[in-house]
């Protein structure tokens, strides 16, 4: 398995990580726990060392699953988790949505340490910005946790460039996690240049467009009622029908390379910068193996130019989020 370093942090991980959210959250029916533990063990066997979870996934159940599954590999794997939501101890959501008050961050860290069964959290992201707490206070709280030996690295999710700079001035940021794929490239404008300047790694979530870029989703696909894609403008049947041109492009390149659309989508991301580590989510071994296969695909400068030229002529239909979800995404 190839490895990559997340910026200047010294944090080295497998070149492809694994998003764990849908192993126990936002999916119906919830997969069998033992099957997911076995799957996570298989991922480690294949060389995956970077796993992504969050307290809000469940809440709490995803961290518990990941903690139990990866306990035998302590010290050999890197687990990223997240704080920043207003969640009560019983798992119910509080009234404020976001909560990054320093005292709350400390409480979340202590609880996540127990659920993950680790002595220190490898990578602790602020999940979403809190308009009521200055980012300097957030960074300071995580800095204190790092000094106490309870956290190793600080990250931000869906943060804008200025927020990244302000946080980094207090506590060096190891990684930014935001959505990035061939059909959502907004981070290229300001966030990626900021990461490059400051020596920060970048972790794209939804690198396969929540499944759409695999070619396995079309306008006739019916999502379960719990699926967030039901709420996203980009995944209406009309938008999916229009956006199939993106998948067609990936398939065309894939035929030349003997690769699937998903593999080309991941290979394209990996080719952008050596400090980018995508975290596609998967729950089936055949999909995991397909994703890992992207690491063997080399896209030449001519391939990348062809892809960029083609995608520049395509207008992707549908917004990434509805208005009520945009306010927390650093846009």
Q: What pLDDT does residue 328 have?
A: 54
Q: What is the pLDDT of residues 51-82, one digit of tens each?
A: 999 999 999 999 999 999 999 999 999 999 99
The pLDDT-based confidence of 226 (bands split at 50, 70, 90) is confident
235 is catalytic: no
Query: What HEC string does the chain produce?
Result: CCEEECECCCCEEECCCEECHHHCCCCCCCCCHHHHHHHHHHHHHCCCCEEECCCCCCCCHHHHHHHHHHHHHCCCCEEEEEECEEECCCCCEEEEEECCCHHHHHHHHHHHHHHHCCCCEEEEEECCCCCCCCHHHHHHHHHHHHHCCCEEEEEEECCCHHHHHHHHHHCCEEEEEEECECCECHHHCCHHHHHHHHCEEEEEECCCHHHHHHCCCCCCCCCCCCCHHHHCHHHCHHHHHHHHHHHHHHHHHHHHHCCCHHHHHHHHHHHHCCCECCCCECCCHHHHHHHHHHHHCCCCHHHHHHHHHHHHCCCCCCCCCCHHHHCCCCC
Report, as an integer, the average pLDDT of 263-281: 98
* CATH architecture of the domain covering 3-326: Alpha-Beta Barrel (3.20)
136/94 Cα distance (integer angstroms): 24
Q: What pLDDT does residue 331 have?
A: 39
163, 129 Cβ separation under 8 angstroms:
yes
The pLDDT-based confidence of 326 (bands split at 50, 70, 90) is low
Q: Which of 85-99, 213-227, 241-255 has the lowest mean pLDDT?
A: 85-99
Q: Which of 258, 265, 242, 245 is closest to 310 using CA atoms?
A: 245
To the nearest whole number, what is the mean pLDDT of the chain?
95
Q: What pLDDT does residue 329 have?
A: 53
Active-site residue among 25, 57, 125, 205? 57
116/67 Cα distance (integer angstroms): 4
Q: What is the pLDDT of residues 188-212, one digit of tens each?
A: 999 999 999 999 999 999 999 999 9
Report, as an integer, the average pLDDT of 107-120: 98
61/154 Cα distance (integer angstroms): 22
295, two tokens: 């690491």
**Given a cut of 80, is residue 28 above it in pLDDT?**
yes
**Given a cut of 60, is residue 129 above it in pLDDT?**
yes
Q: What is the pLDDT of residues 153-177, one digit of tens each?
A: 999 999 999 999 999 999 999 999 9
Q: Where are the domains of the chain?
A: 3-326
């Amino acid at each position: 398995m190839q490895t990559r370093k997340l910026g200047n942090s010294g944090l080295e991980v497998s070149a492809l990580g694994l998003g764990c959210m849908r192993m126990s959250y936002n999916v119906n029916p919830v997969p069998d726990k033992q099957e997911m533990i076995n799957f996570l063990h298989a991922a480690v066997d294949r060389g995956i060392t970077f796993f992504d979870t969050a307290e809000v996934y469940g809440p709490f159940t995803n961290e518990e699953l990941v903690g139990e599954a990866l306990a035998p590999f302590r010290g050999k794997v890197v687990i990223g988790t997240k704080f920043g939501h207003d969640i009560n101890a019983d798992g119910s959501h509080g009234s404020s949505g976001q909560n990054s008050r320093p005292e709350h961050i400390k409480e979340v860290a202590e609880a996540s340490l127990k659920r993950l069964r680790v002595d220190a959290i490898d990578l602790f992201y602020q999940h979403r910005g809190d308009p009521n707490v200055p980012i300097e206070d957030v960074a300071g709280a995580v800095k204190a946790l790092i000094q106490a030996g309870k956290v190793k690295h600080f990250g931000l999710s869906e943060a804008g460039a200025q927020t990244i700079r302000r946080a980094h001035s207090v506590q060096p940021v190891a990684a930014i996690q935001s959505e990035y794929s061939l059909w959502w490239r907004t981070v290229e404008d300001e966030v990626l240049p900021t990461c490059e300047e400051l020596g920060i790694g970048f972790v794209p979530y939804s690198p396969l467009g929540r499944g759409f870029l695999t070619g396995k989703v079309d306008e006739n696909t019916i999502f379960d009622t719990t699926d967030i894609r039901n709420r996203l403008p980009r995944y209406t049947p009309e938008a999916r029908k229009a956006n199939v041109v993106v998948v067609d492009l990936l398939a065309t390149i894939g035929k030349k390379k003997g690769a699937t659309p998903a593999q080309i989508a991941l290979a394209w991301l990996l080719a952008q910068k050596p400090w980018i580590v995508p975290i596609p989510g998967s729950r089936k071994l055949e999909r995991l193996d397909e994703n890992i296969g992207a690491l063997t695909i080399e896209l030449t400068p001519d391939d990348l130019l062809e892809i960029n030229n083609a995608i520049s002529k395509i207008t992707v239909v549908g917004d990434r989020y509805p208005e009520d979800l945009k306010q927390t995404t650093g846009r």
